[in-house]
Each structure stands twice: as C-alpha cells, then as structure tokens.
C-alpha cells in the first residue's frame, strides 16, 4: 500500500475494465454489481523455471443465495485481453486457475470450486459445463465470505513439469492442497494476471496482495521435503527473489525485486 505513485500509476502492473483501487485495502476487480469485468496484469513477463506465488484474495457480497461468477489467476503467453472467460480472453496459452462461484450446469461437486485448465491457444473454455471438458485438476473450496484471510499458493518446477496449488481458507497458516498438475509446460515468457466477471449474479472480487519468489532447483527440492513451505532465504541459496505486492486498482501493485548473487564483491541490487 498505497500501490500507486503520485501519477496514480505503477510501473509494474496495468489494470482495466471495471477495476477500481482502494489505496488502503485492495484491488477490486469487480464490485458487487451485475455485468462487470475487470483485470490486473503484470507488465513484464516472467521466465523463471522455478517459482512460487502467494496471493491474498477476498470474495464476498450482499447475496446469500446465487452469487457469481468468480475470478481467475493467469500464467499465460497473452496479457490484458478482456473476454468471456472470467473476464479474460478465450483460447489462451498457458494455465488458468478459476475460482468459480456459480454453477452453469449440474455438477458432481459443490460450489465454490477451484479448477485449473492448461490452454494450448486453440481450445475453448467449456463455459456451459463449468470447464468440465477442460479440467486438469480442481477441488471444492469454501473460500467465499470468510473471516480468515483467504490465500492461494502456487509452486512450479519446469524440470519436473509440475504445478501445485494450495489454499488457506479455514485458519491462518493452515494450508490444504487443491491440486497437482503434471506434464505442464508454461510458455517461455508468461505474464501473471488476475481477472473477474459478474453477470446477473455478482460479488466483490478483491486482490489484496501478491508475492512471487523465483527459486532455484534446490529451493524446490527443499520445499518438497517441507511440504512445499517457503525455504528460509538464509539457507536456500535463492538466485532471484521477486515480490509482487498487489492490492487495489488504478495501476495497482507494488513490486519489490531483489537480486542476490554470490559474486566477487557480494553485491546486492534492489529494484
């Protein structure tokens, strides 16, 4: 916070659609109103073979019956192209993770539901059936309207081609695995994005913060031995650490990038 500079902009993130900013609280992708669509995207691509992303979010509204539609997290080749898939374009290349709060058809699982799709740039999202034909992994998750901070935690290893998602929805620091995707190859340069959409049913969809660490292979291995918890930086041998701290709307986010290398003079640069 406050996520923006004196010109009401941020050099690291763009926003659009109905996204608004509250400099003390969050990035609101959509308000609790019908027919809204908003997005938040990193301006710079990521190309790390090993990384970890943790994001705080909040979904709530006045409705106590039908609500919707949900929001998405994107790791894709494309960026900032509004469309019908939770406010983003269809036929994307990369991974979309959908936090779906509205059932378009009968399903064997309850809602809210978190689902991942691996896009090849040609396949459409199966909106009529809540992505059933596209589902690479998913889980039921009661993340809406919680008093505890709701968080997501993503880790990825390019060598193993494995992407994992854990969620905190019940108690502080109580993480539950949602899914593990195997044989996943992200684009060589991909962008981090968030988007949300409402229709006749609606909710507030807020992004509160985002932190992203670019890890080494040894960090991934240590994290696996420790149930994928973040390894201490003093012992991990981190090559790069990128922190994207996001919240609020008008060119939202603050990104702290620290680059640490073992060099002759042990220099450190902060961006």
pLDDT at 239: 32
pLDDT at 223: 58
In eight-state DSSP terms, residue 222 is: H
Residue partners of 44: CB distance under 8 A and separation at least 6: 12, 191
Domains in the chain and their CATH numbers? Answer: 13-270 (2.60.120.200)
DSSP per-residue letters across 33-61: SSS-EEEEEESS-B--SEEEEEEEEEEE-
Rounded CA-CA distance 85/87 in Å is 5
Rounded CA-CA distance 224/231 in Å is 10
pLDDT at 175: 95
pLDDT at 64: 74
Q: What is the CA radius of gyration of the chain?
A: 18
Query: Number of helices (H) and strands (E), helices first, in the chain?
Result: 2, 19
pLDDT at 225: 53
Rounded CA-CA distance 187/39 in Å is 20
Rounded CA-CA distance 139/124 in Å is 21
In eight-state DSSP terms, residue 103 is: -
Could you give the angle at the alpha carbon of 237 between the alpha carbons of 232 and 240, nearest 5°? Answer: 95
Distances, alpha carbon 152 to alpha carbons 128, 143, 229, in Å: 26, 10, 13
Nearest Cα residue to 80 out of 115, 124, 131, 29: 29
pLDDT at 23: 84
Q: What is the pLDDT along the chain (271 residues), one digit of tens a residue?
A: 777 777 777 778 888 999 998 888 899 999 999 999 999 999 999 988 999 999 999 999 987 778 889 999 999 999 999 999 999 999 999 999 999 998 888 888 888 999 999 999 999 999 989 899 999 999 999 999 999 999 999 999 999 999 999 999 999 989 999 999 999 999 999 999 999 999 999 999 999 999 999 887 766 665 555 544 454 433 333 333 333 333 333 333 333 333 333 333 333 322 2
């Amino acid at each position: 916070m406050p996520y923006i500079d004196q010109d009401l902009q941020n050099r690291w993130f763009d926003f659009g659609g109905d996204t608004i900013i509250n400099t003390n609280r969050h990035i609101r992708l959509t308000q609790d109103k019908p027919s809204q669509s908003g997005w938040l995207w990193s301006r710079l691509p990521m190309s790390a073979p090993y990384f970890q992303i943790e994001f705080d979010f909040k979904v709530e509204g006045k409705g106590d019956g039908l609500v919707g539609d949900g929001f998405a997290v994107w790791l894709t080749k494309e960026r900032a192209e509004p469309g019908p898939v939770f406010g983003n374009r269809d036929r994307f290349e990369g991974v979309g993770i959908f936090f779906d709060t509205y059932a378009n058809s009968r399903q064997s699982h309850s809602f809210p539901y978190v689902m991942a799709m691996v896009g090849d740039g040609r396949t459409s999202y199966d909106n009529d059936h809540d992505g059933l034909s596209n589902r690479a992994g998913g889980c039921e998750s009661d993340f809406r309207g919680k008093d505890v901070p709701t968080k997501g935690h993503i880790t990825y290893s390019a060598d193993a081609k494995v992407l994992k998602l854990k969620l905190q929805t019940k108690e502080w620091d109580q993480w539950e695995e949602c899914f593990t995707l195997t044989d996943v190859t992200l684009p060589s340069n991909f962008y981090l994005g968030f988007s949300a959409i409402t229709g006749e049913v609606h909710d507030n969809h807020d992004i509160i913060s985002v932190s992203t660490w670019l890890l080494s292979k040894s960090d991934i291995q240590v994290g696996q031995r420790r149930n994928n918890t973040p390894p201490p930086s003093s012992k991990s041998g981190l090559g790069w650490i990128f922190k994207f701290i996001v919240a609020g709307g008008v060119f939202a986010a603050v990104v702290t990038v620290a680059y640490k290398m073992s060099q002759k003079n042990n220099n450190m640069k902060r961006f």
